[in-house]
Structure 1
């Protein structure tokens, strides 16, 4: 039976990528060696890294605009620390929209004053704050574009007279934005880009080198840039699979096509959530995520019946995060519309049984 993978991350990737990646494990480019055993200093892998970095910038529309792309380790959680280490001199402003924003704030407070300009915590992060004021004397502003756990997504970004840092871990490459408005973007690969193990960092080079503290080499963006993202042994396989996924995105129409694909999926599922009296959405309508739809049953006594229906239909990873409960359908780039149709059908079957 075909599986319909709604896991929040590690998550679904294109079948074409899985096939190419599997071949690369067995024999990379007819070399007689696996991609996992060739030297990371070899010409073969250096070309992988360089193409992945270049293609990331190309897809985001940031080539030749003063940016560089890095593939680092430690996940987005390491970036909570690295962004502050490299950018926070005295004061930074953070928008708190969920668990990951809260963790980023905690790390940043180790390095200077952090102003929480707004928070949606009082409603369990089911909306994106609006009309907040950002101080003018900050080193940078930090936000999280999409909140995987709570199913909210920023539709607009504030105009800030300071560098803008954005955690785009769960919606990178999923929708068109003016990415030049951001000075530093970071994203764990395991949502829309590849397997767990590497993190994409896209940074405008001229914002670096302005803090007074000494930065350890492994946490210093400038060191990684100078070494072409190869200061230490990179996560070779994770970078390789990320490259295959980036190629797939480009071949299938780039970010514009991904956005159209994702809008169709989200519209279909949210229409059913709003139509079906047995379900209710968790996030405020205007802030709903196209990547992660969170919803609950209106009658918890039907949980056992619904769980059986979606599991029997081959659906995987639909349970919601413990912070929200209910269900979470993660609809990343590689998820097909057909999978959403299967989920909608199970929701309608539950209604018919009632």
Structure 2
């Protein structure tokens, strides 16, 4: 097998150890003679997987006891609709902070349920940085929604200081489990798994128990958080294989040393590539302002489109996969999620430096 470096933005790289473990157990889980995919979601074997995944996540993220963890389907896109469906009322107005395309999609969905306030937006500056958030009145908004990391533009909230609201909601699909976060600052956190947590198919939702008490009644059962809380995410058949792989990823993360170790490693990986950009004297140009750079998605362009196409062509020939930027903005993007090893980022830096030398001669 040739050497491949997977920088896809999602579905993204999974740890090799996890894939090997899943391969080993694929046909015979826990010595039962059948795959985990064939076990009943209400049987003891899957039940153990489900609970262990929840407990591992609680431990790794230091989730307080007054929070619930749910495993749902539909991705972050379904959460864009479920949140307003559960928490918007005619006499209240939620506030959204726009930092990229996914924030825009969240606002678009919420607007179908009532009036939505755009608190501040970085769109005028082409989403190159996280905007400075104005002081928020505690009772002006029913909830405040942010997107912690922006995969398309390569920006990330460096911290959550300065944004205070009793019901703060965050879409953390592309940077959950990559760094330490103050979970107790948020009323609800949601994340599609296919970047840092596991494969596509399962969405993690973490929220304070008192938040569920605010939810609207009379909405379809499958779209009600209350339904999923009462049924422990087992109201209908969950994506059992995705949750099984999520458990394996969480075990792998714990074995590495948890969030502190992952954060340190992610900072080191991203810095390798950002250094190649910053030291190129303009050969490579980063999209994100330095104070808003993402550790997960490193976005950049070359001097012209022809050179960018050549860069991507040569990169793929050498085993670098997934480096093309999102179709909406073009350029290049290296997604260095948790499972991307340090050596992949070292190899990409080396390729970038050599590509520059070759094309400046």
Interval containing the TM-score (normalised by the shorter chain) = over 0.9
- Structure 2 residue runs of 5 or longer lacking an equivalent are none
- After superposition, give the CA deviation of every residue in 1:18-77 in whole Å (9 maximum; x if it has no partner): 01112232111111001111111110001111111121111111142x001010000000
1:84 alignment partner in structure 2: 84
Establish whether residue 205 from structure 1 lines up as the match of residue 206 from structure 2: no
In structure 2, what is the Cα distance between the partners aligned to 1:135 and 1:114?
15
Larger deviation, residues 51-60 vs 234-243: 51-60
- Aligned partners of 2:108, 2:136: CA distance in 1, in Å? 19
Which of residues 164, 184, 188 is equivalent to 1:184?
188
Q: What SS does the corresponding residue of 2:178 show, helix, strand or coil?
A: coil
Distance 2:312 2:334 in 1: 13
- Seen in structure 2, the aligned counterparts of structure 1 residues 308 and 138 have a Cα distance that, compared at 3 Å, is closer
What does residue 102 of structure 2 align with?
100
User: Hey, what's the Cα distance between the residues in 2 that align with 1:223 and 1:316?
Assistant: 40
Equivalent pair of 2:81/2:110 in contact (CA under 8 Å): yes
Residues 299 and 41 (structure 1 numbering): CA distance in 2 closer, same or farther, change over 3 Å? same
| Alignment TM-score, normalising by the size of structure 1 | 0.97
- Tell me which residue corresponds to 1:118: 120
Which residue of structure 1 aligns with residue 41 of structure 2?
40
Contact kept, 8 Å, 2:144 with 2:165, in 1: the verdict is no
Residue 254 of structure 1 aligns with which residue?
258
Work out the CA distance in 2 between the residues paired with 1:190 and 1:305. 29
Query: CA offset at residue 247 of structure 1?
Result: 0.8
Equivalent residues, number = 353
Distance 1:38 1:159 in 2: 44
Which residue of structure 2 lines up, in the alignment, with residue 285 of structure 1?
A: 290
Asked if 1 retains the 8 angstrom alpha-carbon contact of 2:95 and 2:144, the reply is yes
Contact in 2 for aligned 1:87/1:208 (Cα 8 Å):
no
The 1-side partners of 2:303 and 2:62 are apart by: 43
Counterpart of 1:324 in 2: which secondary structure? coil
Give 2:225's aligned residue: 221
**TM-score between the two structures when normalised by the length of structure 2:** 0.95
- C-alpha displacement of 1:312: 2.5
**Residues 151 and 291 in structure 1, CA contact (< 8 A), matched pair in contact too:** yes
1:235-277 C-alpha deviation (Å, 9 max, x unpaired): 0100000010011111110011000000001111101101113
Aligned to 1:296: 301
Partner of 1:67: 67
Matching residue of 2:348: 343
Shift of 1:333: 0.5
Residue in 1 that maps onto 2:17: 16
Once superposed, what is the RMSD of the aligned Cα atoms?
1.3
User: How far off its partner does 1:213 sit?
Assistant: 4.5
